[in-house]
Amino acid sequence: MKITLSVNGEEHPLDVEPRRLLSDVLRHDLGFYGVHLGCEHGVCGACTVLLDGRSARSCLMLAAMAQGHRVTTVEGLGTPANPHPVQRAFGEEHGLQCGFCTPGFVLTVSELAGSSSELTDDELREELAGNVCRCTGYVNILRAARRAEHLLAEEAPHE
């Protein structure tokens, strides 16, 4: 099946089998290694991408389902020389350890922090509950999410 995926602002024409998962195509065919495969059941959040700006589990989607949508992987947020504010926040607040879950958290937090409403601590925990980290107690991840909100607010154009 011939499809074209828009990933991180670039068009990628592909010939894929209809049953291929988006996570496999992104990681193995296109080389976006920030898409991690953990549970392959949509539970751990390691495969999270943004689909038209909303977080989605790429291990639960067929690649063909993403055609016509904008897919953003963690590689599409920033670069080592110019990291996205959420990536900076995770570094500044030590919101990562082994790094396996980090892309999923970063993409989820970028969606949340970019929304106009500020979440309560309980709401933030609830929103992040779909991402599993085995290394931390989540305290620094929550701090990183709060720091990201502040960094994004500082960088937003003021009227």
What residues does each domain of the chain span? 2-76, 85-155
**Residue-level pLDDT at 116:** 63
51 strand-pairing partners: 54, 71
CA distance 64 to 77: 23
Q: What is the CATH number of domain 85-155?
A: 1.10.150.120
Q: Quote the Cα angle for 124-114-131, to 5°.
A: 40
- Model-level pTM? 0.93
More confident position, 136 or 123: 123
CA distance 109 to 30: 24
Mean pLDDT across the chain = 93
- Answer whether CATH 3.10.20.30 is correct for domain 2-76: yes
More confident position, 131 or 157: 131
Mean pLDDT of 91-97: 93
